[in-house]
Amino acid sequence: MTLPRSTLVSLADTPYYHCVARCVRRAYLCGVDRYSGISYEHRRQWLEDKLHETADAFAIKLCAYAVMSNHYHVVLRVQADIADAWSEREVIRRWHSLFSGSVLSQRFMNGDALDPVLYERLLEDVETWRARLCDISWYMRIVNEFIAREANKGDDCTGRFWEGRFKSQALLDDRALLSCMAYVDLNPIRAKIAKTPETSNHTSIKARIDLLNEPATTKPTLEDFT
């Protein structure tokens, strides 16, 4: 029986989670459709960009990712303490980078004065958005809905693009975290999409290698990625 997401995510136990979302269509999420010959390679960049863009708005760190042909993997770190420290204005700014917000939040950000009753109503919305901005389900929802809309537009069709729900797994200790990150990073090599990590496009391992190869006075450490 499918379990509620709330029973699978416990920040008291761990902030780290491995999530997988899979496409339901015969046509690939990315890659070349063997039946039609149509290439969907451009979708890999859509997805990689959206993963980073959404993580930048959320109090969620993108520790590892790999964009495969009909699914993708992410390892996420929920940073609820960071979200708790945000001011009301910062929460609204981040939410507005993803959604239009409400009439009250738009007025607040424009510098309009709100009477006490309206301000209290705005604060209720702010706390709702604060919780969502460190929620894995909301992170995955925003990423997946964007990709589904763009893919449907490109395919000139409607309907479900992803399986009903993404799968998630809690990573309870450092060994599980590092093993999972290695598993995600090496997925394209295992699937024979790439021969080496350096040529494994649209993965976190290639992004880390590129970063390490850039001239810099301070090299990143493991903490920068986890």
Amino acid at position 53, single letter: E
- The length of the chain is 226
Q: Cα separation of 156 and 42, whole Å?
A: 16
Amino acid at position 199, single letter: T
Q: Where are the alpha helices (DSSP H) in the chain?
A: 5-8, 42-57, 80-85, 88-96, 103-109, 116-132, 136-155, 174-185, 187-190, 204-213, 222-225
Domains in the chain: ranges and CATH: 5-80+134-224 (3.30.70.1290), 87-133 (no CATH)
- Other beta carbons less than 10 A from residue 34's beta carbon: 10
pLDDT digits (tens, 9 = 90+) for 25-60: 554 566 556 656 666 677 788 899 999 999 999 999
The pLDDT, as a whole number, for residue 32 is 59
Indicate whether 190 pLDDT > 70: yes
Q: Cα separation of 63 and 181, whole Å?
A: 8
The pLDDT, as a whole number, for residue 42 is 75
pTM (2 d.p.): 0.86
Average pLDDT of the chain to the nearest whole number: 86
Look at 63-72, 86-95, 122-131 and tell me which has the smallest mean pLDDT: 63-72
Look at 1-10, 22-31, 148-157 and tell me which has the smallest mean pLDDT: 1-10
